[in-house]
Chains A and B, each alone.
Chain A
Amino acid sequence: MITLQGLTKKYGGQAAVDNLSLTIAAGRVTGFLGPNGAGKSTTMRMIMGLDHPTSGQALVGGRAYADLAYPLREIGALLDAKAVHPGRSARAHLRALARTNGIPVGRVDEVLETVGLTSVANRRAGSYSLGMGQRLGIAGALLGNPGVVMFDEPVNGLDPDGVRWIRGLMRGLAAEGRTVFVSSHLMSEMQLTADHLVIIGKGRLITETSVKELIDSSSLNAVRVRGAEQEGLKMLVARLHESSVAVRWESHNELYITGLTVDRVSDLAFELGIRLHEVRSVEASLEQAYMELTADSVEFGAAAGRPHPGA
């Protein structure tokens, strides 16, 4: 479990992380989302004792990182895949890590096996591809068999195979009862991996919610209707306007209706005697729900148009 209590980091008066209080629970994957510059990496570095908070504290299992006697056995993190001396082999790198925390050296071969680097374990880390570097970083995170794991943008630069592997790994770690805290800005990936979400913007907590709740709350959930002829659809639109339901023309024979169920729309069409070729509910993606939520806190964003479903 990770606990943040009023965690604040200021750089020259400007807050990168602003009074963040959170509990990241065990047994599920918690996605850590936010635009670039929102303070995700800074938060993670403070959890790992690398950066000093201006005020507040970050606790791992109730204690500050620097106070953990064997930190690698409590929490393992992948913060930067290339954080390995390029001239050192993966095996030597992991052995050195194991020695610092009294971890049996035999464990090194186990984690190398887990991440699939056994055959290249004696090669210099500088010769590794980005994906292999990422796997080595994960091997380091798993070395102490910690109850908490934390990954900063773990799928960046990975091929589809690597992305799938990391997804499975994180789900597996959470299923074993571990706390899994992962930052990403790939929403499609988070939709597949995370159970719970923490969303921050400009260093502040925007919301803490489940993936399902966030998607359900989107105004972009709609019913898509495709009609046989435009005349019928116009009748439907007129009727919906009477009851102040939001409707949008997608094309000459397609409508998006917000705030009604598929059943209700179908019944309405039947009452009006309109021939329809398609009625289905369109669910907002996590990305769309997220964009709606963070629209105000994008620090370096282009003035993008409002996203719409089915685009």
Chain B
Amino acid sequence: MTTSMPVTTAGQPVRASGGGLPGAVAAEWTKLWSVRSTWWCLLGGAGLMLLTTPIIGATMANNKAKGTTVPVGDVAVATVYVAQFALIALAMLMITAEYASGSIRTTLQSVPKRGRLLAAKTAVAAAVSFLAGIVYGLIGVGVSSLSLGDKGETAGGDALGSALRIGVYLALVAVLAVAVAVAVRSAAGTLTIVFVGLTVLPVVLQASDIDPLVALAERMPNSAGTVFMNADTSPYGPGMGLLLLVLWALGTLALGFYVLRKRDA
């Protein structure tokens, strides 16, 4: 038996077009939607938003003085700190699942330019997280205005703005997750680093009461994210919050790229 190839001349290109970065992005897109874990992550995140928004909303309302209201956007933002781990898992799995199964070798054979591969994975993870983040934001805003009733402060445009900013924040957190995953390769290692970096370390630094460390904590991704998403003005403005988030994401990505480029697959 031999091959039943329609193209008879060996080595003739099938078609001399396509590929490149768009091809790599298309491939990552195909791969993302052809595994169940993607759907579980997205649904899990939405479920977390649905379930935890009323609880967090109620807690925030109880902490407020009688007669004052809670902006529903703030509730949505507070809830995102729980639900974000669903999208972190989604972004991380685009890399760690390939290392776990060995299919990273197949991937690198098809896209040997490692910068292009990382760019494609980052773009897909960020785009999906951005859109999912907007949906999560809308769930958070909608559910909290329903559950809080007259204790909630619903300014239409503001709530939509919150949802959009949540999308941007989650896209940048997904980039962070991709960057850490590409540097450490394992799912357990990635989750640990991202979890500690996003939630544990800032609290520890804040509690230290040492000024430079507190200042650092205020500039880490979750504080920067809170300032940006809530459009706060202290300790810096939302523009600075976004800039800090972008710097964290790109800085970590550069580190991940450096490791990926050096490493034997």
A101 in contact (CB, < 8 A) = yes
B-side contacts of A80, CB under 8 Å: 102, 105
A95 within 8 A of B: yes
Q: Does B26 contact A (CB under 8 A)?
A: yes
Contact A85–B35 (Cβ < 8 Å): yes
A99 in complex: contacting residue of B6, B30, B35, B37, CB < 8 Å: B30
Known: A71-B112, A175-B2. A145 touches B12 (CB 8 A): yes
- Fill in one digit per residue for B89-129: 1 if any A CB lies within 8 Å of its CB, else 0: 00000000110011111101111110000000000000000
Tell me whether B109 and A49 are in contact (CB under 8 A).
yes
Nearest residue, chain A, Cβ from B17: A102
Instruction: Give, as a whole number of angstroms, the nearest-CB distance from A92 to chain B.
Output: 3
How far apart are A9's CB and chain B's nearest CB, in angstroms? 9
Q: A51-B265, A176-B3 are in contact. Are A73 and B109 (CB under 8 A)?
A: no
Nearest CB of chain B from residue A270's CB, rounded to whole Å: 49
- Tell me, rounded to whole Å, the shortest Cβ–Cβ distance linking B169 to chain A: 29
A104 adjacent to chain B (CB < 8 Å): yes
CB-CB under 8 A from B106, the residues of chain A are 83-84, 97, 140
Binds B, one of A163-171, A186-194, A246-254, A273-281: A163-171
Interface centre among B11, B27, B265 (most CB of A within 10 A): B11
CB atoms of B264 and A84 under 8 A apart: no
In this assembly, does A107 line the interface, its C-beta being within 8 Å of a C-beta of chain B? Answer: yes
**Chain B residue at minimal CB-CB distance from A64:** B112
Q: Are B103 and A178 in contact (CB under 8 A)?
A: no
Is B19's CB within 8 Å of the partner chain A?
Answer: yes
Which residue from chain A places its CB closest to the CB of B120 in the assembled complex? A100
Q: How many angstroms from the CA of A64 to the CA of B85 in the assembled complex?
A: 40
Chain A residue, CB-CB nearest to B32: A96
Residues of A in contact (CB 8 Å), total 59
Task: Give the contacts of A174-210 with B (CB-CB under 8 A).
Answer: 175-178
Shortest Cβ distance from residue A102 to the other chain B in the assembled complex, whole angstroms = 2
B18 within 8 A of A: yes
Interface assignment of B7: CB less than 8 Å from any CB of chain A: yes
A107 and B14 contacting across the interface, CB-CB below 8 Å: yes
| CB-based contact A50/B105 at 8 Å | yes
Q: What separation, in Å, do the CA atoms of A104 and B17 have in the docked complex? A: 10
In chain A, what residue has the closest Cβ to B19?
A102
Q: Assess the B14–A50 pair: CB atoms within 8 A.
A: no
Which B residues touch A144, using CB under 8 A?
A: 13-14
Q: Cβ of B4 < 8 Å from any Cβ of A?
A: yes
Q: How far is the CA of A66 from the CA of B109 in the complex (A)?
A: 9
**Known A50-B109, A68-B112, A92-B31: A102·B3 in contact at CB below 8 Å:** no
Chain B contacts of A15 at CB under 8 A? Answer: none
Beta-carbon contact of A85 and B5 below 8 Å? no
Asked if A178 and B11 make an inter-chain contact with CB atoms under 8 angstroms apart, the answer reads: yes
CB nearest neighbor in A for B20 = A102
Q: Contact residue range for chain B?
A: 35 or more
Inter-chain contact B112/A65, CB cutoff 8 Å: yes
What residues on B are CB-neighbors of A45 within 8 Å?
A: 105, 264-265
**In the assembly, what is the distance between CA of A95 and CA of B161, in Å?**
38
Q: In the complex the two chains form, is A172's CB within 8 Å of B31's CB?
A: no
Contact of A82 among B2, B37, B102, B109 (CB under 8 A): B102
Q: Which of B18, B23, B30 contacts A92 (CB 8 A)?
A: B30
A68: which B residues are within 8 A, CB to CB? 112
Given A50-B108, A178-B11: A102 in contact with B23 (beta carbons within 8 A): yes
Beyond A51-B265, A92-B31, A142-B3, whether A85 also contacts B101 by CB under 8 A is yes
Min CB distance A262 to B, Å, is 37
Q: A101-B110, A114-B5 are in contact. Are A83 and B11 (CB under 8 A)?
A: no
Q: Within the complex, what minimum Cβ distance (angstroms) separates A55 from chain B? A: 15
A213: interface (CB < 8 Å):
no
Please tell me which one of the listed residues B20, B27, B265 contacts residue A97 in the complex, with CB atoms under 8 A apart: B27
Which residues of chain B are within 8 angstroms of A83 by Cβ–Cβ distance? 101-106
B1 touches A69 (CB 8 A): no
Write the nearest CB–CB distance from A43 to chain B, whole angstroms: 13
Is the CB–CB distance between A85 and B103 below 8 Å? yes
A97-B110, A165-B1, A178-B10 in contact; A50/B264 too (CB < 8 A)? yes
Tell me if B112 and A49 are in contact (CB < 8 A). yes
- In the docked arrangement, what's the CA distance between A79 and B35, Å? 23
Inter-chain CA distance A49–B107, complex, in Å, is 12
Contact of A168 (CB < 8 Å), options: B2, B27, B112 = B2
Q: Which of B2, B7, B28, B110 sits near A72, CB closer than 8 Å?
A: B110
Contact for A96 among B19, B31, B109, B112, CB less than 8 A: B31
What's the least CB distance linking B210 to chain A, in Å?
41
Residues in B with CB closer than 8 Å to A88 are: 31, 34-35
Instruction: Verify B105–A96 contact, CB threshold 8 A.
Output: no
A-B contact pairs, 20 of them (CB 8 A): A65-B112, A69-B19, A73-B13, A74-B11, A79-B109, A80-B105, A83-B104, A83-B105, A96-B27, A96-B34, A96-B110, A97-B106, A97-B110, A99-B26, A100-B26, A100-B110, A102-B19, A114-B5, A140-B106, A145-B13
Residues of A within 8 A of B (CB): 26, 45, 48-52, 65-66, 68-74, 77, 79-80, 82-89, 92-93, 95-97, 99-104, 107, 110, 113-114, 140, 142, 144-148, 165, 168-169, 171-173, 175-178
Smallest CB-CB A-B distances: 8 pairs: A102-B18, A147-B11, A172-B2, A92-B34, A102-B19, A100-B110, A51-B264, A99-B26
